Chains A and B, each alone.
Chain A
Amino acid sequence: MTALMYAIKLAKEHQAQATAVYVVNTKALSDLVKSGIFVAVERDEYQRDLYEDADRYLRHAQHLADEKGVEIDTVKLEGSVHVVVKELVKSLGADLLILGGVSDIRSRRDELASETDRMMRTAPCPVLVVREDDDIWDEFER
């Protein structure tokens, strides 16, 4: 959420067009079925839940942008997160990708599997990583 706030502030300051994207990670769901953790009926149920999460998040993004008078497009995608984000950035010709959800890397295994890390490495444009920071929330509220 911090990255979203930061993006809206930045878009306002630069009079830029912002796009909020939520990727339903259907790749992870398929992997869970393949590895035997999920049964098919369970995958379908979780997929519905994830779509509802996406709608909630994007509604909130629209609400925050409206609050600041920033024009925002909302996009809901599905697939492998870093792959579809890369394709979207290309198709939009975006100048900047703003990412959040960065946690401290505490093991090598984390680093290799982190979707944020993959997006940073594969994005076809400059990337801005926003850490969770109370100051950004405070600044947004002002």
Chain B
Amino acid sequence: MNVLEALEKDLIKVPLESSEKYAIIRELVEVAAQVKGYDGDALLDAILARERLGSTGIGNGIAIPHAKSDAVDKVTMVIGVSKIPVDFESIDNQKARIFFLVIAPSKEASAHVELLASIARSCSSGIFRRMLEQAKDADEVIQLFME
């Protein structure tokens, strides 16, 4: 599974309203819960449990909070872009503006790994990251991934 296969317009929020790490996570989880009807509390617990192992702020202004949870029935990705750089306790101490929340059921380990790898590949380009940060709405985010 790659980013384009997981991409859904309703699961993209630009701009995010929050300006603090855990508020951002909650905001992204809420999108998944509202759009897909998932149990938001269960998703949040799974994401926070993973975050306790170490921050998912991977540097270069990107954070990928992720977890396994059987509260979802398929691999689900929410993308959020913040206008304000947010301290996500990233490994390079840079603040983050681009967020990918990824949650997958335990039986879909392969698709989960592939999607995370695909996100990492997509965001390895500095130009791409800058363009993503400038995206004004969900359509622009989709367009960028489709180029």
Residues of A that sit less than 8 Å from B by CB: 25, 28-29, 31-32, 35-39, 41-42, 46, 49-50, 52-53, 103, 106-110, 113-114
Chain B nearest CB, measured from A37 CB (Å)? 5
Interface residues of B (CB under 8 A from A): 2, 4-5, 50, 53-54, 56, 58-59, 64, 66, 91, 106, 109-110, 112-114, 116-122, 145-147
Which residues on A sit within 8 Å (CB–CB) of B5?
Answer: 103
Inter-chain contacts of B53 with A (CB < 8 A): 39, 41-42
B68, chain A: closest CB distance, angstroms:
8
Inter-chain CA distance A113–B116, complex, in Å, is 13
- Contact of A109 with B109 at beta-carbon distance under 8 Å, contacts A36-B59, A41-B53, A42-B53 already known: no
In the assembled complex, the Cα of A49 lies from the Cα of B110 at a distance in Å of 8
A-B contact pairs, 16 of them (CB 8 A): A25-B113, A29-B113, A31-B117, A32-B116, A32-B120, A36-B58, A36-B59, A39-B53, A42-B53, A46-B113, A50-B110, A52-B109, A106-B4, A106-B146, A109-B122, A110-B4
CB distance from A42 to the nearest CB of B (A): 7
In the complex formed, the residue of A with least CB distance to B147 is A107
Q: Which 10 A-B pairs have the closest CB atoms?
A: A49-B109, A36-B58, A28-B117, A35-B120, A39-B54, A106-B4, A36-B91, A39-B53, A107-B146, A50-B109
A32 in contact with B146 given A37-B56, A37-B120 (CB within 8 Å): no
Other A-B contacts than A37-B66, A106-B146, 17 sampled, CB-CB below 8 A, are A29-B113, A35-B58, A35-B120, A38-B116, A39-B53, A39-B54, A49-B109, A50-B109, A53-B110, A103-B2, A107-B4, A107-B146, A108-B147, A109-B121, A110-B2, A113-B2, A114-B2
Partner of A37, one of B64, B122, B145: B64
Assess the B112–A46 pair: CB atoms within 8 A. yes
Chain B contacts for A38, CB-based, 8 A = 116
List A contacts of B119 (CB < 8 A).
37
